[in-house]
Chains A and B, each alone.
Chain A
Amino acid sequence: MGRDLINLDNVYANNLGMLEKICMTVNPTIEFPAHYFDELFPKDTKKDTFFAQLAYYSEIPVGACKAKLYPKKKGDTYPKGVHIESMAVLDQYQNNQIETKFLNYIIEECKKHHQHNVYVHIPVNADKEIAWYKDNGFESEEEPLKELFKTTEGLIDGMLLKKHID
């Protein structure tokens, strides 16, 4: 083959639907904000910086990640740094190190943009994810933030995890 089984590639306006589909399938209970996906390709002049990628398993899109750069601190919830907003891999394609690839990609971008911190918000009940992030060098910062996630089962608190990069 000469190529890896898993590849990352950019998200384009034309395959934004894939990202949406994957995020929604993996997190069926979360209600995403209105322009959560569209904001990657804003109609007006672009202000925010996003890092979004799709992961392909032998050319099939199976994972998606989206992160946002906060060049300045924005309240207590969003300290300066890169925030991972979504990292989703279809259930059947997990255990392929796709998340690691996403994380590496985000760390790379982080360095390119001269940032030293990667953050991620996770619902407090998502034990598996929290464990995974902790395994990968994230540490929990402070107390959970109240009612951060809107889900079909009501509001859920969010945990803020941080990884420092030199």
Chain B
Amino acid sequence: MSRRRVGGKPKPAAKAAAGKDHHTQFLEALKLYEGKQYKKSIKLLETIMKKQITSEFLALKGLNHYFLGEKEEASDYIGQAINKIEGTKATAICCHLLGIYKRSVKEYNESIKWFQASLDNGSTNKQIYRDLATLQSHVGDFKAALVSRKKYWESFVGYRANWTALAVAQDINGERQQAVNTLSQFEKLAQGKISEAEMYEHNECLIYKNDIMYKAAGDNPDKLKNVLHHLEDIEPNVFDKFGLLERKASIYMKLGQTKEASLVYRTLIKRNPDDFKYYKLLEVSLGITTNNKLRKVLYEKLASFYPRCEAPKFLPLTFIHDEEELTKKLGEYVLPQLKRGVPAAFSNVKPLYLKRRNLVPKLLEKIVIQYLSEQDSREHPIPYIWCCYFLSQHYLNLRDYQKAQEYIEKAIEHTPTMVEFYLMKARILKHTGELEKAASIVEEGRKLDLQDRFINCKGVKYYLRANQVDKAVEVASLFTKNDDSVNGVKDLHLVEASWFISEQAEAYYRMHISAQKKLDELRAETASSNEDEITTEIKDLEWSVQKYKGLSLKRFYAISKFYKQFEDDQLDFHSYCMRKGTPRAYLEMLNAGQRLYTQPMYVRAMNGASKIYFNLYDNSLKRKQDVDVETTTLPGGDKKKAKKEAASLAKRKGEEKKQVLAYSETEDQDVFGEELLATETPLASFSDNFYENYNKQAKDYERNHILDFEYQYRNGKLALCLGALSKFEKRHGQKSGLFGAMAITLLLATKESSSVDMIAKKVAMKGLETDYSFLPLKEVENESFDWLTYFKENFNSHDLNALVFLKQTYLFEDGRVNEMILSAISHDEPLLQNYILQYVL
């Protein structure tokens, strides 16, 4: 949001002290600023300031600098201005200027403070209330926002936006009746005067009023009837017919008038017969959710009404029990699709593979194999290939990789020009752990159709999974805007392609681990010898380790920044939505904003970053311990060589830089994420960059308690660990492997020798004693107690996540934990096995 005009008419009375001349000159400078003539404004200010320096001159100068893009000077002058002010005792204009500056640099709470101060110090500029309301809404202070909205509304009652804004603020604060009154009052005022162009806004406000009334009504039948009447009144003027009908139906349901409700649902189905939701609701309104016989009749009828629709054909498949009948229905559903060559035939029935795993897959297998055997590959090529494709997916779903491969090979042999088949083949290979081969197969398919964006993205993803980042970037760059950079990485950041960035981050992380492993091996081998070649190789590897780790973190952090950006972007909508009259969309946005940091992609990036941050922290602890042991670095060596090496490394860095640049270099100097890694306080950085926002928004049922535990454990907050543990236990039970792993870890943290704060230890111990007295609490100090055996005997020791957790605590004998992990994954698919072997053990 750009700068707003500062108050039109400043008050001369407050200015007496500044001297009349200065004051008029200042006003002139202010005018220049408003006219965006920042340089001229600064010049004028400089002449005034030769004689006298006041906070408002400084503030205006700072603001001018800010809009010229000179951020440092700006913050310097603003700082000087604030230093001159005692508390918030400054002229109204000065406070206003400071408020604008603080808003521009996104210090919203500060901005609110200064805007408020401007008003308190006598500003008569009512516009401030609008800005204030916007900011208060943005920081979530809705109570204060209501006050500001009201003040603004009082001053400018002639605009609908202000009425809407007031009603929204009242609604958010739970003052529902007042909100309804506000909206009604405006409706009365505007009656008969609404132009064609304003009708959309009007309709939104009408249905919004109904929303509020509905929320306020609760289950009260009289009130609900009222809402219904209102709904009928406004019906001709409301454009959102779906919303209207859905509302109507739910009121009928609440009132118990199921017959009426079912009629409304039938109308909805008629309007959109492809929405599964309405069918379910119709069942509920008819009261037949448990009566399969009636359901079947219902869907048969609906299927004849809407012969081209999926829903009435599919839904019976979810409840018919009789095998013979189900077989018939499945065939009727799937075979026409295979005959037509619908690529999504399998995806359509996939939900049944989840819900009715014991029944549906075996029936479908029979049906489709039978059908396939009737197809001649020459006479009916289309059903033939799509049957093969279907069966391949079917067997992959059942984890029968060999058969899956057989069928997809058949399909490819028959028609080698079908891109989907290559994707499928690659997917099977991925599951069998052959990531490089999978990537090359997708590439083969991609080359068939270079303009297919979908397969392009898939190709990128498969390359990233195979740790071939350069190839991936090359392929991705075919579809990006690469104006001033060598590849599309920058553009992908600009368009916030988080799927790419997260995959890349994870690829870098894996490459980091591999490089680290190699480095460790090499170091161990060459501990004694000191050959030049090897030291260069070690140097190279050291750089790779560092680079991949930094880049990984850098990418994860980029995702976090997208979400912060979204939060910031909301700012504009606090006024925009009111002006456009879209209060319902506005409230939806607010709700989405409150769930922002719990979105899967954010959580994924956070989990990825947590591994790096925790590793940084653990290493810093280790370093502290080893500080005396490992003081020997390179033995003297000759300086020339070291210099040369440094130069060649710098050169290499320069070259690599172009490849990995994510932002323009003027914006961001830390291309390789080295500064991110250099954090002195990894835990605090993790919290600032990821965890804090998540922690604020995540609800108990969706929290990652393990992450909570790991974070708090490293922070030494054992009481919070205990909290995470007990929440986890409530959901997963006391036999769960992870519960055991966390409980043991927590218990061992209360050891006397552990470095955690005494009180924290006592609290944790007390908690464990009350809630989980079955744990061998007495053995804490017993050095010979075998915790791993105890774990094996008492908890689910095949829980891979639990074992990995134990491994990462470094508390137990590594070899034994590894052994347990190996036995735990012995029955898993190769993809997972490889991952564990390569990157965890």
Contacts and interface: CB of A to CB of B under 8 A. Distances in A.
Interface of A: 13-18, 20-22, 25, 57-58, 60-62, 90, 92-95
Interface string B409-425: 00000111110000000
A120 to B, nearest CB: 23
A92 B377 contact: yes
B382 interface: yes
A76 B316 CA distance: 72
Contacts of B418: 60
Contacts of A95: 378
B377 A17 contact: no
B415 A92 contact: yes
Given A92-B381, A93-B381, A95-B378, A62 B449 contact: no
Contacts, number: 47
Contact of B415 (A15, A16, A60): A60
Nearest to A26: B416
8 contacts: A13-B450, A16-B450, A21-B416, A25-B416, A60-B381, A60-B417, A62-B415, A93-B378
A136 B416 CA distance: 28
Given A22-B417, A90-B417, A92-B415, A58 B382 contact: yes
B257 interface: no
B414 A92 contact: yes
6 residue pairs, one from A and one from B, having the closest CB atoms: A14-B451, A17-B447, A14-B450, A17-B448, A61-B417, A25-B416
Interface in B389-439: 414-418
Please indicate which of the listed interface residues B341, B381, B417, B447 has the most CB atoms of chain A within 10 Å of its own CB. B417
Contacts of B378: 92-95
A15 B450 contact: yes
Nearest to A61: B417
B418 to A, nearest CB: 6
B384 to A, nearest CB: 8
A95 B450 CA distance: 30
A57 B449 contact: no
Given A18-B449, A61-B417, A62-B415, 9 more contacts: A14-B451, A15-B448, A20-B447, A21-B416, A60-B417, A62-B417, A90-B415, A90-B417, A92-B381
Given A14-B449, A17-B448, A58 B414 contact: no
Please indicate which of the listed interface residues A13, A16, A25, A92 has the most CB atoms of chain B within 10 Å of its own CB. A92
Contact of B450 (A17, A21, A62): A17
The secondary-structure label for the interface of chain B is loop
Contacts of B341: 58
Contacts of A92: 377-378, 381, 414-415
Nearest to B382: A58
Given A58-B382, A92-B414, A18 B450 contact: no
A21 B448 contact: yes
B416 A90 contact: yes
Contacts of A58: 341, 382
Interface residue tally of chain B, by bracket? 10 to 19
The secondary-structure label for the interface of chain A is helix
A22 B447 CA distance: 13
Contacts of A22: 416-417
Nearest to A16: B450
B381 A57 contact: yes
Interface string B797-814: 000000000000000000
Contacts of B381: 57, 60, 92-93
A25 B415 CA distance: 10
A94 to B, nearest CB: 8
Contacts of A60: 381-382, 415, 417-418
Nearest to B447: A17
Nearest to A93: B381
Contact of A21 (B382, B414, B417, B451): B417
A22 B414 CA distance: 11
A61 B419 CA distance: 11
Contacts of B447: 17, 20
A57 B416 CA distance: 13
A44 B451 CA distance: 22
Contacts of B449: 14-15, 17-18
A2 B381 CA distance: 20
Contacts of A15: 448-451
A95 B378 CA distance: 9
Interface string B5-34: 000000000000000000000000000000
Nearest to A63: B417
Given A58-B341, A92-B381, A95-B378, A18 B414 contact: no
Contacts of B451: 14-15
Contacts of B450: 13-17
B428 to A, nearest CB: 20
Nearest to B415: A60
Contacts of B417: 18, 21-22, 60-62, 90
Nearest to A59: B341
B209 to A, nearest CB: 50
A65 B450 CA distance: 20
Please indicate which of the listed interface residues B341, B415, B451 has the most CB atoms of chain A within 10 Å of its own CB. B415
Nearest to A64: B417
B646 to A, nearest CB: 42
A4 B580 CA distance: 51
A20 B415 CA distance: 14
Interface in B29-71: none
Contacts of B382: 58, 60
A60 B449 CA distance: 12
A129 to B, nearest CB: 19
Interface in B431-459: 447-451
Nearest to B451: A14
Nearest to B416: A25
A58 B378 CA distance: 14
Interface in B339-382: 341, 377-378, 381-382
A87 B382 CA distance: 22
A155 to B, nearest CB: 27
A13 B451 CA distance: 9
A98 to B, nearest CB: 12
B751 to A, nearest CB: 64
Nearest to B385: A60
Nearest to A56: B417
A61 to B, nearest CB: 4
Contacts of B416: 21-22, 25, 90
A13 B378 CA distance: 30
B377 to A, nearest CB: 5
A13 B448 CA distance: 10
Nearest to A5: B382
A58 B418 CA distance: 12
B410 to A, nearest CB: 11
Contacts of B415: 60, 62, 90, 92
Nearest to A12: B451
Contacts of A57: 381
Nearest to B449: A15
B309 to A, nearest CB: 22
Nearest to A90: B415
A6 to B, nearest CB: 12
A109 B415 CA distance: 29
Contacts of A62: 415, 417
B373 to A, nearest CB: 17
A22 B416 CA distance: 8
A60 B378 CA distance: 14
A93 B377 CA distance: 9
A94 B447 CA distance: 24
A60 B412 CA distance: 13
B710 to A, nearest CB: 48
B160 to A, nearest CB: 51
A13 B447 CA distance: 11
Interface in B701-731: none
A45 B631 CA distance: 66
Interface in B177-227: none
A60 B386 CA distance: 12
A57 B341 CA distance: 12
